Amino acid sequence: MTAAAAPTSVPEVRTRGFARRNPTLVLGIVLLVLIVLVALAAPWLAPAPGDAGTATHPFNVLDGPSSAHPFGTDLVGRDLLTRVMYGARISLRLVVEVLLIAGLIGIPLGLIAGYFRGRVDQVIMRITDVFLAFPALLLSLAIAFVLTPSVQNMTIAIAVTWWPWYTRLVRGEAASIATRPYIESCRVLGVSHARILARHILPNSITPVLVQMSMDAGGILLTAASISFLGLGAQDPTPEWGLIVSQGAQYFATQWWFVTFAGLAILFTAIAFNLIGDGIREMLDPRRVVSR
Amino acid sequence: MIRYAAERLGLGVLVVVGVVVLTFLIARVIPGDPAVTYAGPRASKAQLEQVRKQLGLERPVIVQLGNYLKGIATGDWDTSYRTKRPVLSDLRTALPASVELVTAGLILALLVGLPLGLISARFHGRLPDVLVRIASVIGVSMPVFWAALILQLVFAQKLGWLPAAGEYDPNLYYTSPLTSYIQMPTVDALITGNLAVLKSSISHLILPAAVVALYPAGLLARMVRASVLDTLGESHIRMTRSLGFGDRAIYGRWALRPAMNPVIQVTALVFAYSLANTFLVEAVFDWPGLGSYAANSLQALDTPAIVGVTLIVAIVYVVLNLLVDIAQAAIDPRIRLR
């Protein structure tokens, strides 16, 4: 019995040690995994999958929480638990897409600016200066305003706002790596610029960007919810959380459930992202204070 | 120092020009045919043609951009479709109310964030630290519009402790009329010694300011904590400790001081962020500032107004950034060399 248990206990202790050293990170991951599971399993878990779409139930309009509808129903009688569960799919996908697009625009530009310096660098950095002169919510709102409101256009609007941060970050890293002797050696050996960028500069400058991305996920989620709340993002019947809060706002004093659960979903998801971002930064921070 | 300031100023002007160009692209180029956006979906062909001529859309884009830049520089920011007034004069009445709200919010955030950050660092790893960190993560993760709704419901409608909306009690328009100098009721009331309005406007300010303060307070608490913890590891702190100074002197003077520079910078930057966030707060609290103006303009598809708000917030942001840079360079000569 003890002999059989011994080998399995070793990794267990190790994971527990990891959790004790990085409580923030582990808590965030656990929360996020739960949310991802709910999002993935929504079609099977949700009480009324049809309510994520155009279904209406005129006899159940604005019902309070009950065993049939734990989160209550909305103004056309749709089950809010179902809508909040499906909302997780929309929000998580949006965050991933924004990070991908912003990374795909921002990282190459930063690499080019930091590696080649000179005029290219000047032009790229002045452009990022202009973009960074707007608070993120404001610029994405303005862009979403001139596009047709939809989740897809909201994703584009936020990504267009977000890339300059990554350009800045990558540029700084790339510029410092570009001056290292081994890069010079590569040049002397006749290695092409493209290859140096892809094989040497990129892998060595990507870590801070990934950390920054993990810290930005919460902000992107909140920006998207805000845009939808203001009516420029998801449109009915899309079960987007910000939109649900906006639809419920005028009923809030009497039908509290309409606004509350969707808002809590935004809050918990943002907390999960922020905990992970904090946790990753703490884990990688070499100056971490261990004791006084 | 003067050279550094001039360089920064030049860069700032460049960024403002870029900002104007970007808003031009947003207003005139992305929508495809701006005339349709301007004239509305039900406009006739002749109306569209007229709008095109009026906006100068038949000219090359570069000429249009030139005219647009000239208009912005000379104070002609177009006319709002909704209010039928020049956008710039609309902004002149809306901006002060938002500045009042955001300033109150940031003061609140500093009053809460700084002590919490210090407490967190002082009791690092123990219960107070854990509690502060949980609170600050909630603060930065809170959807602002949702927090606004909840606070309004709980404190105004259910408990009735604070007024639900507006700048001050409308009954006071007649009993103690306020002479408005700068469109900020609290300040105007203070200047004119109008105590009734002052009391009422402060009580109206508390809830929206608390919502505005959520994010900056969480951010500041985290920053102060991290920064103080960093400083605590340094040798000059060990030195003061070995000289027998108590916690109070160490935390209050030597550990907090170096944290103040980034705190000032973040406070200035978060100001513009909060101006944009008032879009979500003011509509809920019916606060007559930029946010309400923007929210109403969004609904009315009022492009000139939206562009105007976007532009003014970006300009405020650039100017604040510039001031912070120059102030920091004046305080810390090392910055000028970078």
The pLDDT tens digits for B19-45 are 888 888 887 766 666 666 666 667 777
Quick one: average pLDDT of A45-72? 83
Give yes or no for residue A54 having a pLDDT over 50: yes
* Closest residue on chain A to B16 (Cα): A130
**Residues found in chain B:** 338
Distances (CA, A) of A117 to A102, A187, A194, B12, B286: 21, 16, 15, 21, 49
Q: Which two tokens stand for residue B248?
A: 């109070």
Q: What pLDDT score does A2 carry?
A: 45
* Contact flag B142-A138 (C-beta cutoff 8 Å): no
Q: How confident is the model at residue A291 (pLDDT cuts 50, 70, 90)?
A: very low
Terminus-to-terminus CA distance in chain A, angstroms?
A: 43
Contact state of B280 with A134 under an 8 Å Cβ cutoff: no
Please answer yes or no on whether B141 and A292 come within 8 Å at the CB atom: no
* pLDDT tens profile B204-232: 888 999 999 999 999 999 888 888 887 77
Burial (0-12, 13-18, 19+ Cβ within 10 Å), B80? buried
Mean pLDDT of chain B: 83
Cβ–Cβ contact B144 with A under 8 A: yes
Does pTM surpass 0.90? no
Rounded-to-integer distance, Cα B272 and Cα A273, Å? 24
**pLDDT score for A134:** 87
- pLDDT tens for B64-96 read 888 888 888 888 888 887 888 888 888 988 899
Phi-psi region of A117 (alpha: psi -120 to 50; beta: other; left: phi over 0): left
> Is B37 within 8 Å of B81 (Cβ atoms)?
no
Distance CA A279, CA A214 (A): 10
CA separation for the pair A115, A172 (Å, rounded): 10
Of all residues in chain B, the percent with pLDDT exceeding 90 is 14
Please indicate whether, in this complex, the C-beta atoms of B144 and A259 are within 8 angstroms of each other: no
User: Once rounded to an integer, what is the mean pLDDT over residues B130-151?
Assistant: 91
Distance from CA of B145 to the nearest CA of A (A): 7
Between B332 and A216, the higher pLDDT residue: A216
Cβ atoms of B156 and B163 within 8 Å: the answer is yes
DSSP string, A151-194: HHHHHHHHHHHHHHHHHHHHHHHHHHHHTSHHHHHHHHTT--HH
- How large is the average pLDDT for residues A153-163? 94
| Residue A264 confidence class, pLDDT cut points 50, 70, 90 | very high
Query: What are the backbone angles phi and psi of residue A79, rounded to the nearest 5°?
Result: -70, 120
Among A7-21, A190-204, A221-235, B307-321, the minimum mean pLDDT is found in A7-21
Could you give phi then psi for residue A233, rounded to 5 degrees? -110, -125
Using a CB-CB distance cutoff of 8 angstroms, which residues of chain B are in contact with residue A287?
A: 230, 233
Total beta-carbon pairs less than 8 A apart between chain A and chain B: 145
The interface pTM score, or ipTM, of the predicted complex is 0.85
Query: Any residues with CB less than 8 A from the CB of B115 and at least 6 apart, and which?
Result: none
Distance CA B132, CA A214 (A): 22
Angle at A90 between CA A229 and CA A101, to 5 degrees: 95
